[in-house]
Structure 1
Amino acid sequence: MTTAPSATSPEAVFDPDFSRPVDVLNLPPNGRVLVVEASPEERTALADRLEVLEVASLRAEVRLRPLAGGPIVRVEGHLEADLRQSCVVTLAPLAITVKEPFALTFGPGEAEVEPGGKEIELDIEADDPPEPIIGGRIDLGAVIAEHLALGIDPFPRAPDARFQPPPDVAEPAETHEVRGATPFAALGALKKK
């Protein structure tokens, strides 16, 4: 019988579609460089999740390095993905390339902070707080998938796409000319009384 992972176990929080857990507790002082590529199954799962027609390729080069003064890890990288999305005007498939740099800092997760620790005050002008390291690992797949999602154009449009409204639908400006009224015409009439 298999038990479900607990809410604080890495398996419970790592990305099920594209997971690349990396042990960061034993990084060399000068860091480590990794190349991450998505398998065909992972690309299909990501396409479904991101609501695109296809993720044809996804590759990232990532550098992990420990920062002095604590168990903090800096993650810097660059991803490149080839996608197919639907044009928002014509619905024709479009070939899109996403190139996205990213940089994050990871630190001890909330559950890994010593009990009785100090209360943290956040400065909204300061850098974002570190992402949590869970069980001594971080999920590079989740980081890459998140930044891929941020790099996707939510409204892709073919260069030659032109919106043509149906002939029986009036444009908003034409509607006002026909009625001769605006949303504030009633207020104007009250002011004249």
Structure 2
Amino acid sequence: MSTSEFSRPFDVRQVEGKTPRLEASETERAALARRFELVRIDSLSAELELHREDRTVEARGRLRAEIVQSCAVSAEDLAVSVDEDLFFRFVPERTDHVPDEEVEIDADDCDEIEYAGTHVDLGEAVAQSLALAIDPFLTGPDAEATREAAGIGSPEDQGPFAALKGMKLGKK
């Protein structure tokens, strides 16, 4: 089972029709903020609806969070609201993998989370969804002024084609 900061194990044999509401405690939010390199997480919750077919468990619902993260340029604190749809499909761990064998997956496989034993960790799945919702390049209103003060151009003025931008093409 998971050692996640926000672990919420559910027995796959007893999930059908359940509608859990997961809410992270202050301690869990602080640990997740460290893990995701956020200033803080003020709230984190998910409302889910669970369904099972054989040993496959599907969870659908909504993730809501209030986080504070640093601007990627100025390092100022920026408040961010997260409100995302959730969909997870937990499938039994596959034991037929062959090392270095090429594996083809389709779009549905991307939503699958393998589990071993009889429990799935809904809390860790929610935590990973929060991580995916975080903008790693978030900039605030003071970003441009900070770039100018540091003598750094805007992202459009960076990169391999920036030098070509100012060149005039000669005609032959």
Normalised by the size of structure 2, how large is the TM-score? Answer: 0.76
Q: Which runs of 5+ in 1 are unaligned?
A: 1-9, 114-120, 181-193
The alignment status of 1:161 with 2:143, answered yes or no, reads: yes
Q: Structure 1's 66 and 169: CA in aligned 2 closer, same or farther, altered over 3 A?
A: closer
Q: 1:74 aligns with which of 32, 45, 58?
A: 58
Q: Quote the Cα distance in structure 2 between the aligned partners of 1:152 and 1:100.
A: 11
The alignment status of 1:61 with 2:47, answered yes or no, reads: yes
Q: Summarize the alignment of residues 1-193 of structure 1 with structure 2, pairs less than 5 Å apart.
A: 10=1, 14-28=2-16, 31-67=17-53, 70-110=54-94, 123-128=104-109, 130-159=112-141, 161-163=143-145, 164-166=147-149
- SS of the residue 1:143 aligns to: helix
Residues 55-96 of structure 1, C-alpha deviations (whole Å, 9 max, x = no match)? 0100100111013xx321111121111011111222111111
Q: Quote the Cα distance in structure 2 between the aligned partners of 1:167 and 1:27.
A: 55
Q: Quote the Cα distance in structure 1 between the aligned partners of 2:150 and 2:142.
A: 21
Q: Which runs of 5+ in 2 are unaligned?
A: 97-101, 168-172
Normalised by the size of structure 1, how large is the TM-score? Answer: 0.68
Residues 81-126 of structure 1, C-alpha deviations (whole Å, 9 max, x = no match)? 1011111222111111111212121122236x8xxxxxxx954335
Q: Structure 1's 43 and 101: CA in aligned 2 closer, same or farther, altered over 3 A?
A: same
Name segments (4+ residues, structure 1) moved above 4 Å.
166-174
In our comparison, the structure showing a higher alpha carbon Rg is 1
Q: Quote the Cα distance in structure 1 between the aligned partners of 2:39 and 2:50.
A: 32
Aligned pairs, how many?
Answer: 156
